[in-house]
Amino acid sequence: MEFIMAPVKSQISITSKRSRLSSSNSMNEFVVKSTFGIPLHPSKAPFIKEVIWAPPNSPWFKGNCDGYFLLDAQKSAYDGLFRDHKGSFIIGFFKSYYSMYGHVERLAEEIKKGADSVDGVEAKLWQVPEILTEEVLGKMRAPAKSDIPIITPNELTEGDGFVFGFPTRFGMMAAQFKAFLDATGGLWKTQQLAGKPAGIFYSTGSQGGGQETTALTAITQLVHHGMVFVPIGYTFGAGMFEMEEVKGGSPYGSGTYAGGDGTRQPTRLELEQAFHQGMYIATITKKLKEAA
């Protein structure tokens, strides 16, 4: 029988026979965590044979994971979680964003829904660290941050595709997101993100606030990492030509307008475009992953 060894909280990959593993525990003793830490109980996933805990210094330990579990390749197509028996995987799809007043976060939530609608794709939301002090944020009347986890640069390597979102500051991405990208020098040096698809979404205060300039200047970050920029183009169809209402977004990616005082919220059409972007880039990511 063929087995697949899957790193917990990481991507699923094929490895050699079970004989390479020296110790194991009964799978019934564990609640297994699959890609990105999503609980996966053995009773609901019969393709899991058993859990193998590998110490960090073991030859099987790779990346940011807690251990490994064995999968029965003959059952690995269970519940549509895996693509096939000999090249099984779960596609990791990240949405990383910065949002001060919640507009970008609302778009990110909708993009996640779109990505999750693609079979075989698991999407996860992350936010980048805040760099302003609580005193400054208070003066700006910024609401408290949500409980979305904070991403670190090295965690980007776990994703197969990305959509980066940020508000605009003077026609460019907010400093918080730029500071995060500035911290990815180690990934740039080793080109660990090269070839991975990435999209962009954004929020501005007004129609002339720089939606397209923000996207254009953000593309340079992707280029230096060797990433593949995936715009939505005009795949959103008639929604791209809507003239009866104010609508954010462009062929570069989905977007919204916050208004001068930040009270305007993403509209139904803007959220539909965000959903489409998530679904579209997740589909592209899946195709690239399958062809690799």
pLDDT tens per residue across span 117-145: 999 998 999 999 988 888 887 887 777 78
Which pLDDT score, from 0 to 100, does residue 131 have?
A: 87
Instruction: Look at residue 288 in the predicted model and tell me its pLDDT.
Output: 94
pLDDT of 1 above 70:
no
Is residue 207 predicted with pLDDT exceeding 50? yes
Read off the pLDDT band of 233 (50, 70, 90). very high
| Domains, the chain | 3-80 (no CATH), 91-291 (3.40.50.360)
Which residue would you say has higher pLDDT here, 154 or 139? 154
Average of per-residue pLDDT values in the chain: 73
Which of 25-34, 162-171, 210-219 has the lowest average pLDDT?
25-34
Task: Note the pLDDT of residue 98.
Answer: 66
Mean pLDDT throughout 240-256? 96
**pLDDT above 80: residue 149:** yes
**Percent above pLDDT 90 for the chain:** 54
Q: 279 pLDDT band (50/70/90 cuts)?
A: very high
pLDDT at residue 185 in the model: 96
Amino acid 55: pLDDT: 39
Mean pLDDT of the region 25-42 = 33
DSSP string, the chain: --EEEEETTS--B----GGG----B-GGG--EE-GGG-EE-GGG-TTEEEEE---TTSTT--SS-S-EEEEEGGGTTGGG-SS-SSS---EEEEEEE--SSSHHHHHHHHHHHHHHTSTTEEEEEEEPPP-S-HHHHHHTTPPPP-SPPBP-GGGGGG-SEEEEEEEEETTEE-HHHHHHHHTTHHHHHHTTTTT-EEEEEEEESSTTS-HHHHHHHHHHHHHHHT-EE---TTTTGGGGG--SS----BTTB-EEE--TTS-----HHHHHHHHHHHHHHHHHHHHHHHH-
Report the predicted TM-score, pTM, of the whole model to 2 decimal places. Answer: 0.67
Q: What is the mean pLDDT of residues 261-289?
A: 94
